[in-house]
Chains A and B, each alone.
Chain A
């Protein structure tokens, strides 16, 4: 029953000591710091290399803070069972073991149906469209594979992801016996490079980042995925629901970062294809 307890743990808890407090826009400007939660061990988006915080989301958070005229303070956090838990732990309530909340969290879905379920935060400033794709070894499955190839060839996934659950059921369960489960997509990508498996299914940004130095026989592209309800979603920023001024400022500043090409440049630095979201962040006229 572990999963369910974890999912809702903390709903009834009072906050313990909070070292970080989410601040309003004025407070952020007075303090001179924008605090942001990003996922840890999550290349190419947010990770630590040589003791330094690196990644696309790290650079975006820094650019956003710079636009606001403040410095950034980035907290790399573990992913809980789902995004609702992450938001409770990091944006609107704080984890029951302490640590408090941050002003914003990046890499959050901008999805109206989802927003309706999560009323404690606002999802703003969509900056990227993430998409589930495949990386594959052309020596094993050729240059034009389809999903059916993996009824006979092996495919890796990060455990307990959309790709994992989709492939277990896809093609009437005919792929399930060929799935190799990895505890991270990095390990799946390494196995693909080492020739141990024929393909990997996962989000494009992650796969391209992990396979940025890939040989020619490893390709990344989307394949037709019958029965997969959603293969793409917009990523944005989560802000505590009552922090309206901050939400507005984040939206506006992200819009100019998207429009002036800064975001695209950041993605290119990490050799990841940049796909802008269908809904660009709104530029609200200043009153």
Chain B
């Protein structure tokens, strides 16, 4: 890559000369740019619009009054037949929009004209059976690089200007069932990633690499008993070996970090959620099964765990605990401010934790029906289980008791990120109201052999809607407003200082709501379901909004009654960009 190096040097040189004279137009992305991403308005250089993941923009030209004038600027089609599940969040930098697409693709367009500048199609090996769909949730910008993870569990760094591969690192063996679909984050020059994989035989981990070279710096496993590393040397085991697992199950305990993580600079802490434990049936693994279905607070400098909190100890419902942990200032009545974090779990509870130590502050339902627990005990921080509603043990020929559990394993909220608005002091949660019948299925086969599987059917809880965008007050735990949607919500949320909340619907709309009241103010039909994450930025004095469109993800894969509400929806693959013109037409 000699020519690439040369090009990079020229780029850096020109960036320096610009910096000496005037505003840096061609600057490489720096740690400072990423640290300031939440407050700078002319770019979006990180997943979450700032590493805390608040998805809040201070822009207010576009607001509850002006949003009616928001019009399309341009649209990019991803082309070919790979039209499936566009769950990404785009990034904007240096006059370019970067967006990942299903099947591990990347598109870059000129932010002014919408003209495609380059496209990268990752070559996927034959015969892969990737876990968890073919979506990709986004990339990270650093220096002159665009870094993203692929279905075959590689981390790929592309030149922002040419789309050429600068470095490529194998994160895990795809043949062993590993994959990756989450957006990496960059913290002080390190690219931080999790890993996803099939249910069995894998162990989750968080890894930090040198963002410029891809070289591994530290690795932290998420299941107790496994050794972490720092600079190639042992760096202490996670937790205490075999404290909360029977036999050798900790060796294959699951707890995949498949949704990536967030970072808080004030406490210098990474927050990574972990998936459910293996095997699936909780009766086979008595104990808390640490650190499955948890959040781990990790020091980004050395990969050591600072604290942990387990959302669902001894998870028996496949709830996972991967959903994002969003740092925010919890303002108390007496004027005191607690450094807190908010999290809407699959299990239906909205948690507020003290992010300096992991202490539980509050946990309140953000969905209408929760059967697995009666509540979360604020003293112990543990759920008060309803044992009658735990799926049964896989005993012999019996079908096992069928249990109705709510939320369903797709969660009160799934992967789609929430947003926090410091102006309204509200969290905006894309939630779904559904439950599941779940039972042991003795008549099942795996790899040609008899097997003990689980049967399940997802059921909507209401006739007229499944999805509900909800505003949660983190101080009271109360739902302040909700906007219902017929189909399940599966897209991320954006909120702005213009008193707006944006999110998409499977029916194809990008919608804007009044952040205080929930009143729907604007919508636009994109032609396919919106399950991606909207962003906003300012360009030449005009405010822009972008969101991918393309129906897919996990919802259309499920049979039963849920499928009926989404069966007619067409797949797609495009990036829609809108703007508020200086002078409305």
Contacts and interface: CB of A to CB of B under 8 A. Distances in A.
Interface of A: 1-6, 8-14, 16-17, 39-40, 42, 77-83, 86, 89, 95-97, 99, 107-109, 111, 113-114, 117, 130, 132, 159-162, 164-166, 168-169, 173, 176-181, 183, 203, 227-230, 233, 235
A2 B449 CA distance: 21
Interface string B442-459: 111111111111001000
Nearest to B414: A1
A230 B84 contact: no
Contact of A160 (B129, B199, B554, B558): B199
Given A3-B280, A166-B452, A176 B131 contact: no
B196 A2 contact: yes
Nearest to A105: B448
Interface residues of B, number: 74
B420 interface: no
Contacts of A80: 129
Contacts of A77: 127
A235 B283 contact: no
B53 interface: no
A99 B128 CA distance: 11
A165 B443 contact: no
A127 B12 CA distance: 68
Contacts of A113: 443
A160 B126 CA distance: 25
A132 B448 CA distance: 13
B345 interface: no
Interface in B549-580: 554, 556-559, 563, 567, 571
Interface stretch (B248-256, B423-431, B466-474): B248-256
A62 to B, nearest CB: 18
A39 B448 CA distance: 9
A82 B411 contact: no
B132 interface: yes
Given A1-B318, A8-B559, A9-B133, A162 B410 contact: no
A78 to B, nearest CB: 5
Given A78-B129, A229-B397, A233-B450, A13 B84 contact: yes
B557 A11 contact: yes
B88 interface: no
A16 B81 CA distance: 7
B397 to A, nearest CB: 4
B284 A99 contact: no
Nearest to B436: A4
Interface of B: 81-82, 84, 103, 124, 126-134, 175-176, 196-201, 246-249, 251-252, 256, 258, 275-276, 278-281, 283-286, 318-320, 346, 393-397, 409-411, 414, 442-453, 456, 554, 556-559, 563, 567, 571
Given A82-B444, A97-B134, A165-B452, A227 B81 contact: no
Contacts of A39: 447-448
- Best-surrounded residue of B256, B320, B450, B453 (most CB of chain A within 10 A): B450
- Best-surrounded residue of B82, B444, B446, B558 (most CB of chain A within 10 A): B446
Given A81-B199, A162-B452, A165-B279, A229 B442 contact: yes
B442 A82 contact: no
Contacts of A162: 446, 449-452
B121 to A, nearest CB: 13
B320 A1 contact: yes
B247 A177 contact: yes
Given A169-B283, A173-B246, A181-B251, A5 B447 contact: no
Contacts of B247: 168, 176-179
A286 to B, nearest CB: 30
Contacts of A16: 81-82
A178 B275 CA distance: 26
Nearest to B246: A176
25 contacts: A1-B275, A1-B276, A1-B319, A2-B131, A2-B132, A2-B258, A3-B280, A4-B409, A8-B558, A16-B82, A97-B124, A97-B128, A99-B127, A113-B443, A160-B201, A160-B278, A165-B284, A166-B452, A168-B246, A168-B284, A169-B283, A177-B246, A227-B395, A230-B397, A233-B449
